[in-house]
Amino acid sequence: MTGCVVVCGLVLGGCGGNGDERAGRTTDATATTAQVNRGGTLVVGISSDPGGLNPAITTSGATHTAAELMFNGLVELDQAGVPRPELAASWTIGDNGAIYTFTLQDGVTWHDGKPFTSADVVYSFNEVLTKLHSRTAASVGSNISKIEATDPKTVVFRFKEPYAPLLQQLDVTEAPILPAHLFQGTDVMKNPANNAPVGTGPFKFVSYTAGSELRMQRNPAYFKKDLPYLDQVVMRVIPDAGSRVVALDAGEVDWLFDVPGFDLTRLRADNKFSTLSTQINPGGSNCIMTVGFNLDRPAFADVQTRTAIAHALNRKQFVDRVLFGQGRVAEAPISSGIGFAHAKDAGLPGFDRAKAAALLDKAGWVREGSGTRTAKGVAGIADGTKLAFDFLFFPTFSSYGELFKAQLAEVGAEVTLQPLEPSAFSAKVFGDRAFDTNIISYCNGPDPEIGVRRMLDSARIGPVPFSNAAGYRNPEVDALFAKAATTVDAKERSSLYRQIQTRVAKDLPYIWVVETESTRVFRSGCRNFGPSGHFAETASCDAK
């Protein structure tokens, strides 16, 4: 089987859009060239310091939010998830999906003026993405046979068996391409370019002050004709959500990736602002806020205890009180945004406080009165030990922690909240495995192979950030994932992913809490934003 993708307007903006978005309306995420103004600076309020600016070595949303505008993937995905040419001008698929051949764009240069070639693609995948980017490592890295450059403009991916989801894994979020001439022969994790990046993207690095501000300027040599329109993008770190909204109201920032639900209604009614709602985010799409258990801890080795905690969580309250309706209760281990794979009837435990108490009793966690439960006959735990454990999270997820703690207290579990910045969180959870429980926004992406496998495959237990945090091991699940990755037939793949979810729902290494969506808010003098990490590539703003 062979095929070729034809460019749908490499000059982005030729594919439609409504052009003039006003308050109370969700914008068309496809950019348009209507009402374009050149120049100006877009000021963005972000919630977390990125901690680094290399999106190829992590799936951290903070890093991707800050850095994706400076990089490109081989393809970009439109709002419907359809692959479109980016660094690759076209491609063919052979051997029933086991060979992908990419022809690269002509005339692409890195921000330092060096030419972009196939050697950069081969290096990025072989030495970085399949080792350090948790989703790409778990998927492409588990199936690839060889990636080779047959000439400076041609890259060939050869898989051991047919591999269906590759094209959905090659955008700037899943596979940002790095400059081999700056990274080859170095320790990638310590390379200075991680904090002063050189990419091919629409904007070039200017400066980064940790905890404060990132500045980028227009790339005048960008390979997409006429883009970008803005002269600069400035990202300001404002950790407090309320303070970000105040800055937007005061005109100090032009764009927020999300706002608290109680502010959203007011902002939508104000004609100074426009909105864009999406499940596509820098760092990944179709994201599920997921509680992870450290299965190496004796307290969580018993599935009864894990199931009890799941029953103790009123997940609808997380939708109402934390998300203010911007999301939905998770029904399965795979997001409902991946319709062919989602198994609504997987059997996840529902809210039932009485059942939670009964299961804890059965597991040996006894309670007298309304106090904290203590162990009596729990394997590996001394009698009298309290049912007390830590709960790690990013500071931006503090509302999840507070509600988790309150709900678990109702069934006699004592939770200690531990907020950590992304870099410290990653080291503690994935490097040291020094935690009891945590919550992570696991983005599933457009295909389970991209964002689900990495959190359940036993081969993905290790120091790579945002991989298998639970330390979950199930050979049956590993085998099903491997088979699904090489299955081209859509119905058969769907069946395999449903089997995975049924099995995992019984083992319960995680609790899938809520599916999230985001509503961007921006000043109405700006327009033509996209939903992804390249959100400002086609944007323009009127003068203030």
CA distances to 81, 223, 257, 269, 365 from 521, rounded to whole Å, are 23, 29, 7, 12, 47
Q: Has residue 145 been placed in a domain?
A: yes
Question: What is the domain-level CATH number for residue 88?
Answer: 3.90.76.10
Identify whether residues 188 and 299 lie together within a single domain: no
Identify whether residues 154 and 292 lie together within a single domain: no
Cis peptide before 192 (omega within 30 of 0): no
What average pLDDT is seen over the chain? 90
pTM, full prediction = 0.74
The pLDDT score that the predictor gives to residue 26 is 36
The residue among 124, 158, 193 that closes a domain is 193
Rounded to 10 deg, the angle between the 261-268 and 241-249 helix axes is 10
Residue 72 phi/psi, 5-degree rounding, is -140, 160
The pLDDT score that the predictor gives to residue 533 is 85
Identify whether residues 178 and 303 lie together within a single domain: no
**Residue 94 CB neighbour total at 10 angstroms:** 14
Instruction: Provide the residue range defining the domain that includes 177.
Output: 55-193
Between residues 8 and 231, the one the model is more confident about? 231
Question: What is the domain-level CATH number for residue 433?
Answer: 3.10.105.10
Give the tens place of pLDDT for each residue, 130-166: 999 888 888 888 889 999 999 999 999 999 999 988 9
Task: Kindly compute the dihedral angle of the four CA atoms of residues 72, 76, 81, 82, in this order, to the nearest 10 degrees.
Answer: -160
Give the tens place of pLDDT for each residue, 423-459: 899 999 999 999 999 999 998 988 898 889 999 999 9
Residue 375 phi/psi, 5-degree rounding, is -80, 140
pLDDT of 15 > 60? The answer is no
The residue among 193, 228, 249 that closes a domain is 193
Give the tens place of pLDDT for each residue, 250-262: 999 999 998 888 8
pLDDT of 16 > 80? The answer is no
The answer to whether residues 56 and 128 touch, using CB atoms and an 8 Å cutoff, is yes
Q: Has residue 523 been placed in a domain?
A: no
The pLDDT score that the predictor gives to residue 507 is 98
Q: Has residue 225 been placed in a domain?
A: no
What is the residue-wise DSSP string for 22-82? -TTSBPPSS--STT-----EEEEEESS--S-S-TTS---HHHHHHHGGG---SEEE-TT--
Identify whether residues 465 and 356 lie together within a single domain: yes
Give the tens place of pLDDT for each residue, 294-304: 999 999 999 99
Instruction: Please state, in angstroms and rounded to a whole number, the distance separating the CA atoms of residues 508 and 440.
Output: 15
Structure tokens at 469: 């945090």
Q: Has residue 242 been placed in a domain?
A: no
* Distinct helix (H) and strand (E) counts, the chain: 16, 25
pLDDT of 60 > 90? The answer is no
Residue 381 phi/psi, 5-degree rounding, is -130, 130
Question: Exposure string (b/e) for 448-459, b if CB count within 10 Å is 16 or more?
Answer: bbbbbbbbbbeb
Q: Has residue 4 been placed in a domain?
A: no
The pLDDT score that the predictor gives to residue 25 is 30
pLDDT of 497 > 90? The answer is yes
Q: Has residue 78 been placed in a domain?
A: yes
Identify whether residues 176 and 288 lie together within a single domain: no
Total domains in the fold of the chain: 2
Residue 243 phi/psi, 5-degree rounding, is -65, -35
Q: Has residue 234 been placed in a domain?
A: no
pLDDT of 17 > 90? The answer is no
Between residues 12 and 392, the one the model is more confident about? 392
The residue among 144, 166, 193 that closes a domain is 193
**Residue 251 CB neighbour total at 10 angstroms:** 11
The pLDDT score that the predictor gives to residue 34 is 57
Identify whether residues 467 and 368 lie together within a single domain: yes
Identify whether residues 177 and 323 lie together within a single domain: no
Identify whether residues 294 and 184 lie together within a single domain: no
> Could you give the percent of the chain with pLDDT greater than 70?
94
The pLDDT score that the predictor gives to residue 27 is 37
Q: Has residue 542 been placed in a domain?
A: no
CA distances to 61, 264, 340 from 241, rounded to whole Å, are 16, 12, 35
Window from 135-149, 341-355, 470-484 with minimum mean pLDDT? 135-149
